[in-house]
Amino acid sequence: MNRQTTLILFSFFSIYVIWGSTYLLNKIVVTEVSPLLLASIRFLCAGLLIVIIAKFLKLSLKVSKNQLKNSVIAGFLFLVYGNGMFVWALKYVDSGFAALIAATQPLFVIFLMRLLHGTKIQFKSMIGVVLGIVGMYLLVSQDELVLTKDSIIGIFMIFSCVISWSYASIFVSRADLPDSFFVSTGYQMLSAGALLILASLLLGETWLNPSQWSGKAQGSMVLLILFGSIVAFTAFNYLLKVVSTEKVSTSAYVNPVIALLLGWYVLDEHISVQSLVAAFILLTGVYFINTKKKFVIFSRFRK
């Protein structure tokens, strides 16, 4: 196994497993902290740490005006709107229903690529998308989804967040960004953190000193910064450059399965037969999107 294949394997592990845990971590913190403030602290801290680490590793922080502009655009689409508003919407929408909506991301990616770049939609990809949505439905349909008047706005916002994240995935795969994926991630997070602070102030969110948070919330924030932001998002940016965008978007299917397994392992939650069937269908959907004829995910890299 060569170095690139190893790096791709680790990167997919990051966006599948680490990001799968962030649903739980965000839910823990947002019960005590305003959502946009939560996101701004998370991304500013992660961005600053990335800059410090990059300086220590003697990575160049130089960036052209065009690269900086693209970093700000990506930061807004991914982190300000795609993530910040999604966390905000979780206050009004059942998390299982939100996960079902998020699972439509690969479908949006495929259709946006067709609309924007004329990319042909592969038959196997369409089968994978359908299987993924069916699996997600089976996974979340076990619990009652309580919808209120407030949740209507939340549902609309989550759909718009999914579209924003999908378009950003396509944008980053083609945009002129800093050569270092690590440095590129840092610029995206710093710009997003600054924009989120401004949004938090404009919306009049309550700011609570981190020293007043519970230990559980503080620990969850540390994990979100180090692993959910620095490790996983850097891996995500890397994958967008070396494998197809639709393959990267399959994390939308796997993340809820990981969240389910973590609930069973950490919280001793029961996993039903229906949950196992749903997980199997989800992963089958990922397989169909990841394969083209006899090739597997690591056999064709974007040049």
Distance of CA 103 to the CA centre of its chain: 11
Most confident of the following: 20-34, 187-201, 257-271: 187-201
Q: Which residue has the higher pLDDT, 94 or 11?
A: 11
Q: Which residue has the higher pLDDT, 59 or 94?
A: 59
pLDDT in tens, 105-119: 777 887 888 888 777
pLDDT in tens, 246-298: 788 778 778 877 877 776 776 576 667 777 787 788 778 777 876 654 333 33
Residue type, 12: F
Residue 292 phi/psi, 5° resolution?
Answer: -135, 110
Smallest CA-to-CA distance from 253 within 222, 292, 287 is with: 287
The per-residue pLDDT for 190 is 96
Measured CA to CA in angstroms, residue 236 lies from 10, 51, 96, 221, 250 at distances of 11, 18, 23, 20, 12
Instruction: Locate 118 and state its tokens.
Output: 């004329």
Beta pairing partners, 295: 292
Q: Which residue has the higher pLDDT, 44 or 279?
A: 44
Q: Which residue has the higher pLDDT, 206 or 105?
A: 206
Please give the model's pTM, rounded to 2 decimal places. 0.78
CA distance 204 to 195: 14
The per-residue pLDDT for 123 is 81
CA distance 155 to 163: 13
Q: How many residues does the chain have?
A: 303
Give domain limits for the chain: 3-290
Q: Is 149 helix (H, G, I), strand (E, B) or coil?
A: helix
% the chain with pLDDT above 90: 34
Give, in degrees to the nearest 5, the angle at Cα 9 between 5 and 14: 145
The per-residue pLDDT for 291 is 65
